[in-house]
Structure 1
Amino acid sequence: MRLKYLQGVRRLVVKVGSAVITAADGLNRQVIDNLSAELSRFMRQGYEVVLVSSGAIACGRRKMGFHGRSLPEKQALAAIGQSGLIEAYEEAFERYGQKVAQILLTRQDLESRQRFLNARNTLKVLFTWKVLPIVNENDTVAIEEIQFGDNDTLAALTVNLVEADLLVCLSDVDALYDQDPRLSPRARPLTLVEKIDRRIVEMAGDRPGRLGRGGMGTKIKAAQMVTSAGVPMVIAGGRIPGILERIFAGEEVGTFFVPSGRKLSSRRYWIAYNLKPTGAIIIDAGAKKALVKDGASLLPVGVKAVEGNFPRGACVECLDEEGRRVAIGLSNYSAAEIRRIIGCRSPEVCRLMGAQAPPEIIHRDNLVLAEE
């Protein structure tokens, strides 16, 4: 089954975690060299690759000899470590004749549609020039409100940013197990996940990795994101030499996540996963049915209430009367304007807001259902 999804892959995102590329005395140069050699071979074969690499804070900790507790300390450690991290990659890739570029992102860069498109255009040029982008979160300036939280999420967002065909997460744990292998010797790996249900989420748990902020739980979240866009994902051991070749040969290494039959467009993926809601619209049962069953836009007549104080164009949640999320989307109206037209039909909306006012609060093209 794997080969069916891998045969058409031409652009891939490879994420490598801190625990994979660091050792007790600093960066694990052998692992970095193995990874650089393999990715360089893929580039020569015509693949377009983005490497999402953790390790800046961990590298800074090794250099300074202490952990760092506060956010400013972690930001300073990232500044110290990032230069060493990219230097190690440059040296390793240079041995194989492969040029690399560094791209540091915050969530704000991908929330802003213009900055998102600017980043996409830059990456497209790098692909044209046969340069391998190395992406990391800009930890030096990222405060809690604009952090991705972990590089698994960043990798999943990068898949949409570059319109990749595959995400490979290289971890110190070589697969998803039915139990935590660090705690149970009876744990067994899953080689294939066709649907991410509650059972799979519970298997992942929320225990973080040795050095990074993520863990298996964040990888499952990333898998939910990319498979919803029709993109497969693999979790595999990052220290295994030739792991990518083995994956592309169809070997049952790691855990393969089958993509969903339904595929979110790039724009709707951006709405669903890049944006944070700044308010909520409470809708009645009729509006819920129109959104979920009929694929309709959200009209004022189906709105019961508004929560928050957001401007036009803001990302908002649509909640049913029990508070469950039905959808997320971009509002044509501010919170104050919606309060003026709650329950109104289209002619009344035009009378209150002007003849050119849009009839819908959220157009269906700017709306993503919670179940998608």
Structure 2
Amino acid sequence: MTFQVNKDDGLFYRQTLFDQARRVVIKVGSAVLTNDDGLDYSIITTIARQVSFLQSTGREVILVSSGAVAAGRKRLGIVKTPHEELKVKQALAATGQGLLMQDYEQAFADLNQPVAQVLLTHGDLSSRERYLNVRNTVLTLFQFGVVPIINENDTVSAEELRFSDNDTLGALMTNMIGADMFIILTDVDSLYTGNPSEDATARPIYTVARITKEIEKMAGHSTSSLGTGGMMAKIRAAKMVAACGGCSFIGPGKHPEILQALFSGELVGTFFLPGTGKMNRRKHWIAYVLKPQGMLVVDNGARRALVEQGRSLLPSGITEVRGSFPLGAPVHCLDGEGQVIAAGLSNYSSSDLEKIKGRKTCEIVDLLGRKEHDEVIHRDNLVLMGREGLPARTSQDEPVAS
């Protein structure tokens, strides 16, 4: 099959990338950290020991941890309902986050490894200044030899400002700090070609060279009893990391020595090879972190200019403005079929764009009484998107830069 590499080659690629990885992000899901009695302290101590092992090899490690809501639910005896209100989840997170960090602090303290808690909302990353502040804080913690333990600040996150799951948060952190590897520890052994409980011919996939539609369909064969992500979210997170030149791993978090096994070359779980090239960090922020506040529908000429020629978006190519947004807002560009072809930052507000759409740049002053920019979206603030809503690789991508 074209979606996976030769087994021997896969082992070589895996081991090479594990050996070269100096900065690692590890995400641990609720299904790994909890049992019927709430938080499983034996698992937490195992994770702490393995993370400390990686630290001792000279690597820098971030731990993205779920488990706060599940811990709070057990402590308060709240039964999960199909349509649980956000305020209930926030209350559970507020109760459980302290329990989670208490266990982590104790487990790491026994190993003489300092840790720090970092709680984030999507708003912390959608502001460029705050995004860079978060990055600088994490890098400074690395300098102090501290392991950052990161979780979404569920207690204050509004629905529209959520990351949706910690797999996405982990992928964003991986790309933000330029980590080499994103490890997702879950209660599923690996990605399978079919449902092992129903298909006797189903087999694990050890190495994925490129995430295709076929791979994404396989995500439906693996399910988890806890958490919000699911295998599809993990596949999407791996695709996000690959687009920025990193590799990912999905595998069994309850394996007693999972990290040592991985870094020593044991064939376990599913490994995703990095994509070609690395996306500029600013463009990563535009493409992955920012949520669009509006849409700009463009004509075929503008589509060709953006996709084939790597040019900026001019007002003459815009046929429709959707939504209400201010100057500088993140927007998506759609073609005539409604396909997202680009994401970018608009130099004009929606009200101004309604006046200048379809017009030449030389007319902007007459229409608005001023002209700050010729371009609606400059190519430096624009990222092409693939058929699946993820950034497309182009020859225009710049090398990594802050």
Indicate the TM-score class for this superposition, using the shorter chain for normalisation: over 0.9
Match of 1:23 among 35, 50, 56: 35
Kindly indicate whether residue 263 of structure 2 is the aligned counterpart of residue 254 of structure 1. Answer: no
Q: How far off is 1:66 after superposition?
A: 2.2
Q: Do residues 216 (structure 1) and 251 (structure 2) align?
A: no
- Correspondence for 1:330 among 345, 350, 357: 345
What's the counterpart of residue 256 of structure 2? 241
1:60 and 1:81 in contact (8 A); partners too: yes
Secondary structure in 2 matching 1:7: helix
Task: Specify the alignment match of 1:148 in structure 2.
Answer: 163
3-state SS of 1:233 partner = strand
Equivalent residue in structure 2 for 1:205, among 213, 216, 220: 220
- 1:292 equivalent to 2:304? Answer no
Confirm or deny: 8 A CA contact 1:18 1:212 kept in the other structure.
Answer: yes
Deviation at 1:4, TM superposition (A): 3.2
Decide which of 69, 80, 97 is 1:82's aligned counterpart: 97
Equivalent of residue 231 in structure 1, options 242, 246, 254 = 246
SS at match of 1:104: strand
Matched, 1:48 2:60: yes
In structure 2, runs of 5+ residues without a counterpart are: 1-12, 387-391, 393-402
- Aligned match for 1:188, one of 203, 208, 224: 203
- Distance in 2 (CA, whole Å) between partners of 1:356 and 1:206 is 54
Whole-Å separation in 2 of the counterparts to 1:118 and 1:67: 38
State the secondary structure of the residue aligned to 1:298.
coil
| Cα contact 2:195–2:221 (8 A) shared by 1 | no
Separation in 1, partners of 2:67, 2:51: 18
Task: Name the residue aligned to 1:100.
Answer: 115
Alpha-carbon distance, 1:52 to partner:
0.3
Deviates most, 183-192 or 271-280: 183-192
| CA displacement at 1:148 relative to structure 2 | 1.1
How many angstroms does 1:263 deviate by? 2.4
Q: How does 1:166-181 map to 2 (within 5 A)?
A: 166-181=181-196
Residue number in structure 2 paired with 1:65 = 77
* Structure-2 change in CA distance of 1:320 and 1:247 (3 Å): same
| CA RMSD across the alignment | 1.7
Deviations 1:153-197 (A, max 9, x none): 111111122221110000110211122345555432110111111
Counterpart-to-counterpart distance in 1, 2:372 and 2:135: 32
* TM-superposed deviation, 1:245: 2.1
Using the TM superposition, give the Cα deviation of residue 353 of structure 1 relative to its aligned residue in structure 2, in angstroms: 4.6
Q: CA deviation at 1:208?
A: 5.5
Q: Secondary structure at the match of 2:210?
A: coil
Contact 1:206–1:215, Cα closer than 8 Å, also in 2:
no
> TM-score normalised to the size of structure 2?
0.89
Residues 206 and 217 in structure 1, CA contact (< 8 A), matched pair in contact too: no
On the 8 A contact 2:188/2:224 being kept in 1, the answer is no
- Asked if 1 retains the 8 angstrom alpha-carbon contact of 2:188 and 2:222, the reply is no
Structure 2 contact 206–270 (Cα < 8 Å) conserved: yes
Cα 1:187/1:61, change in 2 over 3 Å = farther
* Alignment CA distance shift 1:300-1:10 (3 Å): same
- Aligned AA for 1:171? T
* 1:53, distance to aligned residue in structure 2 (A): 0.3
Counterpart pick for 1:3 among 4, 10, 15: 15
The answer to whether the 8 A contact 1:171-1:235 is kept is yes
Distance 1:253 1:209 in 2: 18
**Pair 182,29 (structure 1): closer, same or farther in 2 beyond 3 Å:** farther
Aligned length: 372
Identity %: 49
Q: SS of the residue aligned with 1:281?
A: strand
Q: Out of 342, 346, 356, which is 1:341 matched to?
A: 356
Q: Give the letter aligned to residue 24 of structure 2.
A: L
SS of aligned partner of 1:114: helix
Structure 1 residue ranges without an equivalent (≥5): none
User: What SS class does the counterpart of residue 205 from structure 1 fall into?
Assistant: helix
Conserved? CA contact 2:364–2:371, under 8 Å = no
Q: Is the 8 A contact 1:208 1:214 kept in 2?
A: no
Match of residue 112 from structure 1: 127
Q: 1:133 is matched with which residue: 145, 148, 155?
A: 148
Contact 2:294 2:332 in 1 (8 A): yes
